[in-house]
Structure 1
Amino acid sequence: MADKEQGKEKKTKSKTECCGYPLSIFFIVVNEFCERFSYYGMRAVLVLYFRYFLRWDDDLATTIYHTFVALCYLTPILGAIIADSWLGKFKTIVYLSIVYTVGQGVMAISAIHDITDSNQDGTPDSMTFHVALSMVGLLLIALGTGGIKPCVAAFGGDQFQDHQEKQRSTFFSIFYLSINAGSLLSTVITPILRAQECGINSQQKCYPLAFGVPAALMAVALVVFIAGSGMYIKAAPKGNIMLEVCKCIGFAIKNRFKHRSSRYPKREHWMDWAEENYDKLLIAQVKMVLKVLFLYIPLPMFWALFDQQGSRWTLQATTMNGNFGVFIVQPDQMQTVNPILILVMVPIVDNLVYPLIKKCGLNFTPLKRMTVGMFMAALAFVAAALVQLQIDQTLPTFPSASETQVKFLNLESNTLSISVNGKPDEIQAFQSYGYMTLNTDTMDLTVGNRTQDPITLLKGDRQTFLLTSAGLQGWDQDVNTKPEQGNNDIRFVNGYGVPLNVKSGSKDMGSIGQFEFSNYTLFPEGKATFIISDNTGQLCEYSMSLGFGSSYTVLIPSTFNFGSECGSTIQQIEDIKPNTIHMAWQIPQYFLMTCGEVVFSVTGLEFSYSQAPKNMKSVLQAGWLLTTAIGNIIVLIVAEVGQLPEQWAEYVLFASLLMCVCIIFSIMAYFYTYVDPAEIEEQFSEHEPDDKEKKQQLEMKMDTTYTSDDKKPNPDEIKQTKI
């Protein structure tokens, strides 16, 4: 009866086809596209959310980012166990997708409140709640995305019947394409959404929208997947091979230490100590798996470098110039270089590079390819270090905790002579002088013939002093860091005779009295237009072209007049230079890393599958994902323990570590012997008795041949099989 029902089910499934493909796979492909859009879109802006919304420093932002990524690659093991041993793939995907969607929604909600804005006074309790909400969201996302990761592709493969081998192969190519398409589009779109300004009480980057759209896409993914429920072939859970492998290994270790006495004969392989409870076929399969897993030991170091594209490299891009002429690239959008290059490089490498190497007579084995991939990733970090050195040369030198930097601004239309701590100098009309670094608590200042009272200085800060022929007229504390996310800090100084008001769009910089400063206001790259007005309603329109990461003090001088040429007398005083190193200089490091990924990651998966027994490919897949998790943990350790003062030095450290690991891996690869799992499995399948027969043979040998305990052999003495 069951067979008839199964036959009915197969016939029903075969009718729901389109162009030879089961209709159900289209729901799965769309689901995967939306899910990958959701994940990579959220991850693209995550480190900037930590850095500029939660106000964490670079090291903490990097640490939490890589902790999250590590969790995303640890939870697939849990997802695989749940699917294979309990719920099955379909229910696992549905339930964990619900968890995933809730997590994305929590992240979007956590970014709504403006209490983290630097211009507002958020209470510690509110901040704690805000951070806690973000961490809950990330934990749910890690559980969801990791849990469904080992299930979706395998569930798609289950939809094909025996006569659809060709279609199944094409499906996996389409599936991979949907992953890259989702990744590419999301890393372009979500940074654009983040760059918008929105807020309840202030204008700030729109992280709620940047997280909200991925949350919506994840909800769409869930709905689409459930919509195809009636068409799916849902295989029942058959037990988890990973648990069986772990039990077999555990028994072998336990049995080995239990019989470590010299009276027991040695066995060729330590896994052979499991023969008392497990058949030789399973043991042979576990040996093959362990052989590959041993080669996995050095691999996490590659992922430690690779996943820093979303953390350290994104933070590096915030100190660079993203103006490409026809378009502006946000720092987090540089991550799109990787999926773009992947789509270009994979066919080139497969169809041109590898065949060319083969024609040259070189035996470019999979393990040699992986070694080259690790080497190229190390070179990528050397390139990143070189770029960082160039960036560091353009960054301003800010005062240490024991220093003060002072600048003087001449509001007169003629040259002023000054003396600072006995050192004479001159300042041109409507120009500035400085920054001058002082190591004293007070400053003696003489302007012309007027000696000021000793001026108390702010340690660790920058200050600008306003001077006229009448002496010191006022001062203000300057910005002490590079403006965030490539924005520009602008303030105005009124040297005019009456109070003035300055606006730019919706940003009101307020009324500025004579010899007063406005507050600093952030403006993005591009053209900024200001409207200057007085109490009589006269207006002056003034525009500035802004780059990335600069700071300006704009002086409205005493010679200012309203009219068509009003802006010609206004002076721009540069406090911090704009970023001058272009983001295009990151392309070589992305190119090297992507080349490394193509020959390392793609080859590694192919190698793992070719060397794995047919029923243990999921075990090696879990092991492969685990190397990514461990790689992200390595980043945490280096970031926390290393504490290197210069970022370029950290890049060099990672490159050096990977080079050392690369050498170790090349030695391991040299001694590795490739096997044919099918041939070995066939050998054992032909000669291996089933479990019941094996136990009977074992009992007969142990109980009927010997009569005394001291002469009875342990099961360990049974002849071992070699592989």
Structure 2
Amino acid sequence: MSKNMDLIDAEPRPSPTAKDKFPRVVIIIILAEFCERFSYSGMRAFLTLYLRSKLGYSDDGATETYHIFSTLVYLFPIIGGILADNYLGKFRTILYLMFVYAAGNILVAITAIPQLALPGRLCTLLGLFMITIGTGGIKPCVTAFGGDQFKFPEQEHHLAIYFSILYFNVGTGSLIAKTMSPILRSEVHCFGDKDCYSLAFGAPSIVVLISIVIFVSAKSRYVMKKPEGNIVLDFIKCISLGLKNVALRRNVNEKGGHWLDSTRVQYDQRFIRDIKKTLSVLKLFTVTPIFWALLDQMGSRWTLQATKLDGRFGFLTIKPDQMQVLNPIFVLTLIPITQKYIYPFLEKRNILKNPLHKLTLGGILAGLAFIVSGLVEIYISTKYPVLPKAGYAQLRLFNGNQCFISLHNDHHNITYTIPPLSHFSKKDIRVKGVENINFELAGSCIQPTEKILNLEENRANSFFLSGNHIHSFKDNVDKSKSGFPIIRFLVTDTVNTTGMIFVRDKTDMIEAELTRQVSSQIEVFSGLYSLRDGNEEIITSNITVESGGVYALVIDKNGSDYKSNLVVITEANSFTMAWLLPQFLIMSIAEVLFCVTGNEFAFKESPESMKAVMMAVWLLTEAVGNVIIIVITRLFVNYRQETQFFFYTGLIFGAMAVFYYLSQGYKHGHSAEEDGPKKECRSNSEVLYLQVKQTEDCLDH
């Protein structure tokens, strides 16, 4: 017994030393990744709305700027990875570019303060460019730098825990940001505005600054590996050399040999074989940018589409930029369901067994989502305002009197009787330049008279009749770019406006102090309002203005009797935002089929030495997808939005036809001779790393 015990005691045991514990310094790195994800996802959620409503970009201009930003976001991580692996190392790359990241956020936040009157577009674009540089340094380095803190083989089993925490961290940071940022933007009011973009931009920058302090505080505890070169650069150099040799007919001796074989003089045969295999995978991915061109529009075109819809769902009101939260929620729900139940069920019936078939179906579903979005656009466009156009002028005449007013013009065949405190409109009067048009006016409370009205081409020309006097003004009939209701007050000369206020009933907040005649248009919150005089007595109550509506409140007084009428110039958003749910759901299913499957396909099919190259090219295809959006936006600038949606549908269907053709000759897997002994299965760490990458991809859109 004693002898046996001695033998047992003599066997080597793993000592419970600190080497086998989870490295706590990794938590700081995870926090840095959380801050980057929170800052980037939150800012990107409302960026399109900010560009349009505050910087004055058109829908096309905001879309184009948004996707230029996205292009650089997917391009700079490649440069950041090269910088870290060849020159600075991961720690210094992360640290230096975190400062650039925070500075960019701060610049955009400060620019959003209207009182500073900074050059808005210039400073914002500069700040956004700094953010792309910052995320380019952080995105490719944080995950790998965290992995560097583990010692192998002692702490290998803790690496899976690290990726699990990171998986949860990435998802949580993005979802919180996409939910909270629209609330900070719209529910908080600052600097005299009805929203607070400076806070929405500023909050993430403060978080990043705090994370920099925390990140630097653990510098002495980090494991820092020296730069050892970047496989992406070697990949590019080898291909460049091969193409150069072919062009100059150097080292090309074997008839029918591969063009890369000419690089054997300088590169290892195994490395060349890995590149050949990688190129066979990349050939399939030549059409994937088209898919990204559709997917990335959830943050631009689909967000703008949401601004034209009613976000009220019972007691809950959804902001247009909050609709993007649906996508990661759908995707994170669908990933485990498809992996555990749907795919095994279909594979047993020999359906969607091939990953390339999943990619093809994902692309087709993306096209279907754009068909749905195009049909929704056609449906809701019936409520869009008729805007002034070249060759025509719009005429609106508001009657501020408490009697019927007859209006007559022979030349344009206009005969109309305007009710009290109402209006007449005609939106298609042929005009070239500026023309004077004579109208006959008559009514029981005014003297019959002839009035000459000046109508300007391509303008909404409005006139307010108060007694026998006419006041002219130029109108804006388009919906607010911020989604708020717009109202103008038309007050007759008989009304004493001293102390008269327009009050929001819910909060008793004064939205406007009235003046006589024609006020300027102002944006207000949607809801119920009342009109009160200087003694706080309610003149008119239950005045309802809703999001997207354009209104004119006509007010008159006869003796002590006030009369008012709310004229609807442009209808409010009446179609529910629920109309967007099908396209978001279909696109999310497409994303699971295409992005997740494509990511895993690339991971499995690329040789071990080429994983970094494949990730770099995957990011590059997303950048190219955003360039495609920019080009199409320029080409289709004068086309209706649904036309653009249907064009993208045709584009993705064509791309998927090419993809299916290319996939027919693809050979799955690679031989043991090329890559050495194959693993029976991937380690938990590899699988979880892939899940983190999939999560980042689905939350970036």
Question: Deviations along 1:493-539, whole A, 9 cap, x unmatched?
Answer: 224723223343665644433xx122222112223344333xx7766
Partner of 1:558: 557
What does 1:435-514 correspond to in 2, within 5 Å?
435=426, 437-440=428-431, 441-448=435-442, 450-467=448-465, 471-495=468-492, 497-500=494-497, 501-504=500-503, 507=510, 509-513=512-516
Distance 2:673 2:17 in 1: 34
Partner of 1:528: 529
Deviation at 1:471, TM superposition (A): 4.4
Letter aligned with residue 557 of structure 1? D
Letter aligned with residue 548 of structure 1? S
Deviation at 1:35, TM superposition (A): 0.9
Distance 2:531 2:330 in 1: 41
Distance 1:395 1:102 in 2: 40
Deviation at 1:199, TM superposition (A): 5.1
Deviation at 1:678, TM superposition (A): 5.3
Partner of 2:576: 582
Partner of 2:313: 324
Deviation at 1:561, TM superposition (A): 4.6
Partner of 1:237: 227
Partner of 2:44: 43
Deviation at 1:549, TM superposition (A): 0.7
Letter aligned with residue 672 of structure 1? Y
Whether the 8 Å CA contact 1:303–1:631 is kept in 2: the answer is yes
Letter aligned with residue 313 of structure 2? F
Alpha carbons of 1:189 and 1:677: their partners in 2 closer, same or farther (altered >3 Å)?
A: farther
Letter aligned with residue 648 of structure 2? F
Question: Deviations along 1:3-42, whole A, 9 cap, x unmatched?
Answer: xxxxxxxx9996277xx53222322222211110100111
Letter aligned with residue 336 of structure 2? P
Letter aligned with residue 263 of structure 2? A
Distance 1:368 1:285 in 2: 25
Determine helix, strand or coil for the equivalent of 1:433: strand
What does 1:271-286 correspond to in 2, within 5 Å?
271-286=260-275
Distance 2:139 2:458 in 1: 49
Q: How many percent of aligned residue pairs carry the same amino acid? A: 33
Letter aligned with residue 254 of structure 1? K
Partner of 1:63: 64
Partner of 1:15: 18
Question: Deviations along 1:226-252, whole A, 9 cap, x unmatched?
Answer: 334344332222221222222222222
Root-mean-square deviation (CA), in Å?
2.6
Distance 2:315 2:513 in 1: 34
Determine helix, strand or coil for the equivalent of 1:245: helix
Distance 2:235 2:470 in 1: 80
Whether the 8 Å CA contact 1:489–1:551 is kept in 2: the answer is yes
Whether the 8 Å CA contact 2:343–2:352 is kept in 1: the answer is no
Whether the 8 Å CA contact 1:461–1:480 is kept in 2: the answer is no
Deviation at 1:257, TM superposition (A): 3.0
What does 1:148-297 correspond to in 2, within 5 Å?
148-160=138-150, 161-196=152-187, 198=189, 200=191, 202-259=192-249, 264-297=253-286
Partner of 1:358: 347
Letter aligned with residue 214 of structure 1? P
Distance 1:679 1:545 in 2: 75
Partner of 1:92: 93
Whether the 8 Å CA contact 2:477–2:550 is kept in 1: the answer is no
Deviation at 1:142, TM superposition (A): 0.6
Determine helix, strand or coil for the equivalent of 2:406: strand
Question: Deviations along 1:564-622, whole A, 9 cap, x unmatched?
Answer: xx7xx432111111011221111111111111111111111111111122222111111
Partner of 2:685: none
Whether the 8 Å CA contact 2:388–2:427 is kept in 1: the answer is no
1:592 to 2:586 alignment: yes
Distance 2:187 2:106 in 1: 19
Deviation at 1:196, TM superposition (A): 4.2
Whether the 8 Å CA contact 2:242–2:260 is kept in 1: the answer is yes
Partner of 1:542: 541
Deviation at 1:411, TM superposition (A): 3.5
Distance 2:259 2:74 in 1: 30
Q: How many pairs were matched up?
A: 649
Determine helix, strand or coil for the equivalent of 2:316: coil
Partner of 1:104: 105
Partner of 1:31: 32
Alpha carbons of 1:174 and 1:603: their partners in 2 closer, same or farther (altered >3 Å)?
A: farther
Letter aligned with residue 358 of structure 1? E
Determine helix, strand or coil for the equivalent of 2:590: helix
Deviation at 1:424, TM superposition (A): 2.8
User: TM-score scaled to structure 2, two decimals?
Assistant: 0.87
Whether the 8 Å CA contact 1:509–1:519 is kept in 2: the answer is no
Whether the 8 Å CA contact 2:48–2:300 is kept in 1: the answer is yes
Whether the 8 Å CA contact 1:527–1:546 is kept in 2: the answer is yes
Distance 1:245 1:542 in 2: 72
Deviation at 1:165, TM superposition (A): 4.2
Distance 1:550 1:446 in 2: 31
Letter aligned with residue 93 of structure 1? I
Deviation at 1:542, TM superposition (A): 3.1
Question: Deviations along 1:96-126, whole A, 9 cap, x unmatched?
Answer: 21221111111112212347xxxxxx7xxx5
Whether the 8 Å CA contact 1:285–1:613 is kept in 2: the answer is yes
Whether the 8 Å CA contact 2:35–2:208 is kept in 1: the answer is yes
Whether the 8 Å CA contact 2:245–2:251 is kept in 1: the answer is no
Distance 1:136 1:261 in 2: 48
Letter aligned with residue 183 of structure 2? I
1:141 to 2:138 alignment: no
Whether the 8 Å CA contact 1:304–1:635 is kept in 2: the answer is yes
Letter aligned with residue 458 of structure 1? E
Question: Deviations along 1:287-330, whole A, 9 cap, x unmatched?
Answer: 11211222221111111111111111111111111112222222
Letter aligned with residue 313 of structure 1? W
Letter aligned with residue 257 of structure 1? A
Whether the 8 Å CA contact 1:486–1:525 is kept in 2: the answer is no
Greater C-alpha radius of gyration: 1
Whether the 8 Å CA contact 2:25–2:218 is kept in 1: the answer is yes
Alpha carbons of 1:89 and 1:636: their partners in 2 closer, same or farther (altered >3 Å)?
A: same
Letter aligned with residue 242 of structure 2? A
Question: Deviations along 1:197-240, whole A, 9 cap, x unmatched?
Answer: 6454x425311111101111222332333334344332222221
Whether the 8 Å CA contact 2:293–2:626 is kept in 1: the answer is yes
Distance 1:369 1:488 in 2: 45
Picking from 276, 300, 310, the partner of 2:289 is 300
1:373 to 2:362 alignment: yes
Determine helix, strand or coil for the equivalent of 1:621: helix
Determine helix, strand or coil for the equivalent of 1:376: helix
Whether the 8 Å CA contact 2:41–2:174 is kept in 1: the answer is yes
Distance 1:12 1:156 in 2: 24
1:634 to 2:628 alignment: yes
Alpha carbons of 1:624 and 1:511: their partners in 2 closer, same or farther (altered >3 Å)?
A: closer
Whether the 8 Å CA contact 2:289–2:622 is kept in 1: the answer is yes
Determine helix, strand or coil for the equivalent of 1:589: helix
User: TM-score scaled to structure 1, two decimals?
Assistant: 0.84
Alpha carbons of 1:365 and 1:373: their partners in 2 closer, same or farther (altered >3 Å)?
A: same
Question: Deviations along 1:164-209, whole A, 9 cap, x unmatched?
Answer: 4443234323323222211111111111112146454x42531111
Distance 1:362 1:679 in 2: 31
Q: Which runs of 5+ in 1 are unaligned?
A: 1-10, 116-121, 685-723
